[in-house]
Amino acid sequence: MAAPESGDGNNGAARMVTLISSDNTRFEVEAAAASLSQTLQLTILDGGGGGGDGIPLPNVDSATLSKVLEYCIKHAPAAANGGAPNATAVDRAELERFDNEFVNIDQSVLYSLIMAAHNLEIEGLQSLVAKKVADMIKGKSPMEIRRTLGFPDPTPEEQAEMNAHMLEYGWAYE
Amino acid sequence: MAPPPPELVDELIEEIVLRLPPDNPASLIRAALVCKSWCRLISSPRFRRRFREFHRSAPMLGFLLDLWDNADQSFIARFVHTAFSSSSSTSFPPRADRRGFALDARHGRVLLYTTHPSPQQHAPFLLDYCFVVWNPITDEQKELPVLTWYPHSPAWMAAVLCAGATCDHLACRNDEPFLVILVSVVIDNVFVFVYSSETGTWTGSTAHIHLGPTLIYIYYAAVPMGPSLLARGQLHFAIEDGRRILIYDIAECFLSVITTPQSHCVGNMGLVTAEGGGLGVVGVEGYKLYHWSQVLGPDGDGWDWKLEMVIELDMMLSIDIGVPTTSFHVVGFAEGWDLVFVCGSDGVYAAALESGQVKKVHGKTHFYTIVPYMSFYTPAAIEKTNHHVGADAGRRRGGGPPPPPADRPGEPRPRGARLHPVAPHRLRSRLPPPLHRVPPPWPPPPHPSPDAELPLQHQILRRRRRHRPLLPRRAILPFPPRPPRRLRPRRAPRPACSSSARARRGPSPRQEGFDPDVVEPIDLLVWDPVTRDEHRLPVLFWHARSRLAWNAAVLCAAAAITGTECDHHDGPFSVVFVGIDDAESKISAFTYSSETGAWAVPVSAYMEGLSATLLGPSVLAGEALHFTIEGGQRILAYHLAARTIDVLLTPNLPVQTVSLIATEDGRLGIAGVMMGGSGTRLGVWSRHLRVHPVYGAMWCWEQHRAIELGRVLLVDPSYEPPFFVVGFAEGAGIVFVGTGGGVFTVELSSGRVTKVLEIGECYGIVPYVSFYTPRVLV
C-alpha cells in the first residue's frame, strides 16, 4: 500500500516519520500528523521514527493504519492551532463533514479503528468512533445491541436473566 | 457474513456508553442489560460520576404539569417525560400522578403542595401549608412538617434547592440536605420561611419588605406566583404577573424587589437565566417572544434591562394564526437549558433562547404551570436485582438510597442557617390581619364523612351555596317578599370592606416609580332569593380604565366544568367574570369557585381592535358562556371546559339590536325585534354547523322562528317603538321584550306574549329560574 502523498516532497521543512503496520507496510507521514497520537508523540519527540528506522505498530494492520492516518492528516492543521480556536466556521464545518463521512464505514472497520485509536491514544478519533457506535446502539433493545456488536447469543441463563430484567424495566423497552 | 468483530475492551465500552443521550434514560438501561460486564460497568458509581461529568449539565428528563382532576376535584401533578434529542423513543419509569400542585423542581427534587389530610381547626385566617418533596427518579417522597400561616392571599410561592455543600447538583442524592424556601406576600409585606431538612423545622425570617400597592389580583388571583429562578445565589420570584421580581438572597437572608422592563405590554413575564448566569425575563406579545437580560447600567451603578432577542413564534410553529384570539403565556423555564415554555391555545411549546428554535412539547393546554425536571437518571437501581455486581455495588443493596460517603463527616450547615428564628405565634401577632378568609385553592380530598367531622362553620358554609339551575321556569318572583338586592351589580360601588381599602393604601404608584394600571375593586355578591343566602366573593381588581367593559355570570359548578345541566340544589357554584381591556387589546376571563373560595388563574386572549364596550347579559349555550360586545356587533364566547375565549361576528340581521338566547336544543341563538312592512315580529336565529360544498364545514346562522308581536304590542298606543330584547330566561325559552310602556315576555315555544311589567325603562332583566321546594330551606 502506498503512503499518503500529502505533504510529501513539496514541503521540505516538514519532518517526516515512518510507521510500520503489523503486516509490515511502511507509511511515511508528517510528524505533526502522527503526533496526534499521544503514544507516538513521545517517541517522535525523542527523535524516533525518522530516517529508515520507522516505528513498528504491531497492533495495527495496514488497512486500519491508513484510515487512522487519513484522519490524522485531516485534523493535524487544526490541532496545530491549539484546538483550532481561530479556525473559521467554514473550516469547522468542513471538518465536521469529513468526520461524518469518515465514520460512515463498515462496522468491522469501525471496531478496528476504535481499538487503534485507543492503543495509539488519539483522543479525537476515539471520541468520534465512540459517538458513532453510541448512535448505532441507542434506541436498540439489549438483544439488538448484542447482534449489532456481534456478541454471541446469550446462554439460557443469561436469557432468563434478561427476561427477568425486561419484566422489571418494561418501560425501557417501550 | 462479516467475521465477528474483535472484542472491545471495557475502557472502550465505557467510552461508547458514555456518549448515549442522557435525556433518554432507557438507552442506558437497555445498554446495562446487554450483558453482565456492561451492567457492572454502567451501574458502577465511577461510571455514573463520569457520565454526569461528561454531559456537564443535567438533562431535562421531563416536566411536571399541574392539572385539574375533574373526577377527584383536586389538583394533580403529572410527570411528562420527554426527550429533546433525536432519539424519539423517550422512556422514563412510569410515575403515577401526584396529588397536589407542583410548585418547583430543582436539583433532582420536586416540591409539591398538597392539602392536609385532616384539616385542623385554626384561628380564623390561618391555614395549613403541606409540602411534599418528591424524587421522581427513586419515586421516594418526604413530607415536610405542616406550616401554619396566613392563607395565600394575595400571593405566595415556594422553591426547593439542594443544600449539600459538596454536591455538584447534577444528580443530588436523596440524603443530601435540602432547603424549601417559602415567600409569602401578605397585603403589601413579604415574608420568608425556610425549611431545612437538617433541622427538620421551619424557621421564619425577619427579612421582610413593603411592596407598596400590589396588582397581584389582576391576573393571578389568590394563586401562587410564577415559578422561581435560582441565579447568582439568589432566588427570584415573579410577582404581579412578572411586572416586579422579588429577590431573596439565600446566604444573606436579604429580600429586595425590582421592576421588569416596562417598555412592552406583554401578557405575563417569566424568569430565565441570562448568559453568564445572570437574571433575564421573557414575555410574549402577540406572536413575539421578547428576551431581556439584566445588565449593569451605563455608569456601572445599578442594573438595567437590555433586550437580547426577539423570537418569532409563528415563524417556527405550524399554528393557526388565523385565529385572532390565540395567545401565549410564559409558563415555565428549564434552568441550565435555556428553554422557555410557552402555552398557546393548542398546546405547550418550548422555545430555545440560544437558537430561537421552537418545538411543540405537549398538546394539552388545560393546566396551570410547567415545572421542568432536570437530573441524571443512571441505572444504579439495577444493582439491587443483579446478582453479579461488583463488591462495591453489592454493599448498597437493600432498596434505600446509597449511604453517604464516609469522607464528608464535617459538612457545614446548609446555606440559610443564618435565619433568625421567630416563633410562629410572635410572627402572627406582629402581622396585620389578612384580607379575608380564603380557603385552599382547591377543595380538600374527599373526606370519609364530611359533615360529621367538619367544623360547624364548614357545615354552615356547605348550605350557603347557591346555584343557578337550568330548570323549567316557574315564575319570576314566586317567593316570599324580599328586600331588593343586587344579584349581579353591573358596577360595584366603592366597597366599604377593608380589603380594597387596604390594597389601595400607601403611596401612589407613580411615586414608587412603578406605573401600574389603575385598578378598581370589583365587589360581587351571589344571592339566593330562595334561601336568602348571600355569598360575598373575594374582591377582584380590574382596570379602572375599562370599568364598564365587564360582566359576570353565575352558574352551577358542574355546568362550569362540563357545560351540562345540573339539577341539584346545594351544589357548588362558579362565577365567571369576563372583561375587555382595550388598552392591551385583551379579553380576560376569571373564574371563581365556591369550593376553593378563590378566583382561579384567568385566561386571556388578545385581539386587535377591541373596544371596551358594555358586555351584554350572558347566555350559556353549548359549553360556552356568550356575551354580546360592541353593541351586538360581535359575540364573545368563553368555553367553560376548554377555558378558551373566542370572538364571533354576528350576522347581518334585519333587527335593531341583537340579543343572545339559547335554543331548545342548546344552540346559541340570536333574538331581535324586526320592524317592517309585515309588522313587528320577534326573529330568532340559531347557529348551525353546515358543510359547504366548497368551503367545508362552517358555522351558519339560520332563521329559527318569527313570532308576531305587533298584534299584542300595538294594542295600547303607549307601547311605542323601539322594542328591544332585554333579557332571556335560559332553559325556560322566554324572551323579555322591553318597550316604552312596559316589559313583555315571549315564550319561544308557543309564541305567547304576556305583559309582566309596567315599568317604562329598565336597564336589564335578569330572570331567575329555579324550583322553590321546601327541601332547600332545610
pLDDT of residue B180: 92
Closest CA to B101 of B639, B644, B598: B598
pLDDT of residue B386: 37
pLDDT of residue B645: 85
What's the pLDDT tens digit per position in B55-81? 877 777 888 877 777 777 777 888 877
B13 to chain A: closest CA residue: A130
Average pLDDT of each block of 10 consecutive residues along chain B (778 residues)? Answer: 57 86 80 83 83 80 77 78 51 76 85 71 65 87 82 71 78 82 75 87 71 45 63 83 81 82 66 82 79 80 81 61 54 77 75 78 62 70 38 33 35 32 33 29 32 30 29 26 34 28 28 42 77 76 73 76 52 85 81 82 76 79 85 85 82 80 84 75 83 68 79 58 74 77 79 73 66 47
B6 to chain A: closest CA residue: A111
Cell numbers linked to B345: 391555545
What is the 8-class DSSP label of residue B517? P
Cβ–Cβ contact A124 with B under 8 A: no
Cβ–Cβ contact A156 with B under 8 A: no
pLDDT of residue B456: 29
Yes or no, beta carbons of A131 and B92 under 8 Å apart: no
Cβ–Cβ contact A107 with B under 8 A: yes
Chain A (71-90) residues lying within 8 Å, Cβ to Cβ, of chain B: none
Closest CA to A20 of A36, A40, A42: A40
Q: How many CA atoms lie within 13 A of B30 on its CB side?
A: 27
Strand partners, B246: B237, B257
Per CB-CB distance under 8 Å, the chain B contacts of A147 are: none
Yes or no, beta carbons of B15 and A130 under 8 Å apart: yes
Closest CA to B269 of B261, B352, B277, B278: B261
Helix or strand run (H / E) with residue B361: strand B358-362
Closest CA of chain B from A84, distance in Å = 21
Chain centroid to CA B240: 14
Cell numbers linked to A96: 465536521
A-B Cβ pairs (cutoff 8 Å, strict): 101
| One-letter amino acid of A49 | G
Closest CA to B450 of B431, B437, B441, B463: B463
In sequence order, what are the residues at sequence separation of 6 or more whose Cβ sits closer than 8 angstroms to the Cβ of residue B257?
B190, B209, B211, B239, B244, B245, B246, B247
Strand partners, B303: B296
B32 to chain A: closest CA residue: A142
Average pLDDT of each block of 10 consecutive residues along chain A (174 residues)? Answer: 41 72 87 85 76 78 89 82 60 85 85 87 90 86 83 82 74 64
Please tell me the distance from the alpha carbon of residue B18 to that of residue B10, in angstroms, as a whole number. 12
Kindly indicate whether the ipTM for this predicted assembly is greater than 0.95, answering yes or no: no
**Per-residue b or e along A129-163, where b marks 16 or more CB atoms closer than 10 Å to that residue's CB:** bbbbbbbbbbbbbbbebbeebebeebeeeeeebbe
Please tell me the distance from the alpha carbon of residue B664 to that of residue B180, in angstroms, as a whole number. 55
Cβ–Cβ contact A114 with B under 8 A: yes
pLDDT of residue B22: 80
Cβ–Cβ contact A162 with B under 8 A: yes
Please tell me the distance from the alpha carbon of residue B744 to that of residue B714, in angstroms, as a whole number. 12
Cell numbers linked to B71: 373526577
Go through the domains of chain A in sequence order and give each one's CATH number: 16-81+88-138 (3.30.710.10), 139-174 (no CATH)
**Per-residue b or e along A52-85, where b marks 16 or more CB atoms closer than 10 Å to that residue's CB:** eebbebeebebebbbbbbebbbbbbebeeeeeee
Please tell me the distance from the alpha carbon of residue B534 to that of residue B766, in angstroms, as a whole number. 17
First-last CA distance in chain A: 48
Count of CB atoms within 10 A of residue B410's CB? Answer: 6
pLDDT of residue B225: 67
Please tell me the distance from the alpha carbon of residue B107 to that of residue B168, in angstroms, as a whole number. 9
